[in-house]
Amino acid sequence: MTHRNIAILILLMLFSLKPMAQMAPVFSHHPYTNMYINPGFAGLGEGICLNGIIRQQWAGFKDNDGNKVAPEELLLTIDSPIKLLRGGLGGAIVQDRIGFYSRIGVQFGYAYHLDIGAGTLGIGTALNFLNWGTDFSKFFPSNDPVLGTGSFNDMVFDLNLGLFWMVADKYYIGLSSTNVLESKGKTFTSDNNSGSFISDRTIHITGGYQWVLPNNPLYEIRPALNVMLNQSVAQFQFSTAVVYNNRFWGGVNYRMQESVGLMVGLLLKDFRIGYAYDINTLGVSIPGSHEISLGYCFKVKGERTTRSYRNTRYL
């Protein structure tokens, strides 16, 4: 692919914004969500890599009837380099629940790898299947004539595009657009109310850097940025982790105008586990949030022998 075609792809993603239904799920362990938000990341590791994140936002938050309505998110991703395809394959499953509304997404993606200088550029696309569901009868008050008392489920198809450039053990930059088609589902009718779900087209900008302390190479500082944009909402996250001996780490994640997260983690051989607790900065009595991140890589010999990925964010 020529540099001109890459530029056209960037413009396509940047100018594919329209009003949307809602923002995509947000995770404090955002450096481990690359396969979900950017198909260009597929196969840039050293093997078959699995990642999972479980998030309980505003833990214990309930409505006036005692129902648990706090947001809950579950994310599972997998990707692997495929030498015959000159790139990599990947996929993701995400479940997003907010009150009595739920959404499940399934993605299948491919990335073409192009070596540029000291790094590798992944140019990817992914098919995205989205299923929504809600039960209007559980909303408060239950006799609201606008909401009605019915339930609704719908599925649509959409498309993701992404560019991901990485220089091993140094830094990475990503640009992607999820739900480019902004697909609209079928119209639902609930008593006196009608409408339809629309997939949330979102621009994602990510970046990360790995800095080894010159006087003590056992310590590394790894800042990372995650930006999510659409016409109505902008979400900014910035995290910094201090890693010791590529095995233990602790850090902080700041989500603008929302929360500060404290993070710790451990790497045992090729298995990674991390935990984050978010403290709300909204100025109201909202409980904190819990998040657990897991990862494991099955090393594939001979696939990318010229690269070295010891950075835990790629495991």
Angle at 283 between CA 279 and CA 289, to 5 degrees: 25
Out of 51-55, 88-92, 201-205, 297-301, least confident range: 297-301
Task: Please give the pLDDT value at position 154.
Answer: 83
Neighbouring C-alpha atoms within 13 Å toward the C-beta of 245: 6
From 3.20.20.70, 3.30.110.40, 1.10.760.10, 2.40.160.40, which CATH number describes the 3-314 domain?
2.40.160.40
- Strand 271-280 with 202-209, pairing: unpaired
187 within 8 A of 174, measured Cβ to Cβ? no
Q: Which residues, 6 or more positions from 185, have their beta carbon under 8 angstroms from its beta carbon? A: 132, 154, 155, 156, 196, 197, 198
Q: Of residues 188 and 95, which shows the higher confidence score? A: 95
Give, in order, the Cα–Cα distances in Å from 170 to each of 47, 166, 187, 188, 237: 19, 8, 48, 49, 20
Give, in order, the Cα–Cα distances in Å from 275 to each of 33, 123, 143, 202, 214: 15, 31, 41, 26, 28
Average pLDDT estimate for 261-287: 89
**What is the C-alpha separation between 55 and 74, in angstroms, rounded?**
6
Average pLDDT estimate for 236-260: 95
Out of 99-113, 247-261, 278-292, least confident range: 278-292
Out of 18-22, 29-33, 232-236, least confident range: 18-22
**pLDDT tens, 194-234?**
566 788 889 999 999 999 999 999 999 999 999 999 877 88
CB atoms within 10 A of CB 314: 23
Task: Please give the pLDDT value at position 7.
Answer: 54
Prediction pTM value: 0.84
- Return the H-helix or E-strand segment holding 180: none
Average pLDDT estimate for 62-74: 72
- Give residue 73's identity as a one-letter amino acid code: E
CB atoms within 10 A of CB 24: 24
Tokens of 44: 């840039």
Q: Residue 83 — φ and ψ, nearest 5°?
A: -60, -40
**What is the C-alpha separation between 52 and 274, in angstroms, rounded?**
10
Peptide bond just before 217 cis, omega within 30 deg = no
The domain segmentation of the chain, as residue ranges, is: 3-314
The gap from C-alpha 222 to its chain's centroid, in whole angstroms, comes to: 18
CA dihedral sign, ordered 172, 170, 257, 26: positive
140 within 8 A of 161, measured Cβ to Cβ? no
Q: Which residues, 6 or more positions from 114, have their beta carbon under 8 angstroms from its beta carbon? A: 1, 120, 121, 122, 123
Angle at 226 between CA 222 and CA 231, to 5 degrees: 165
204 within 8 A of 64, measured Cβ to Cβ? no
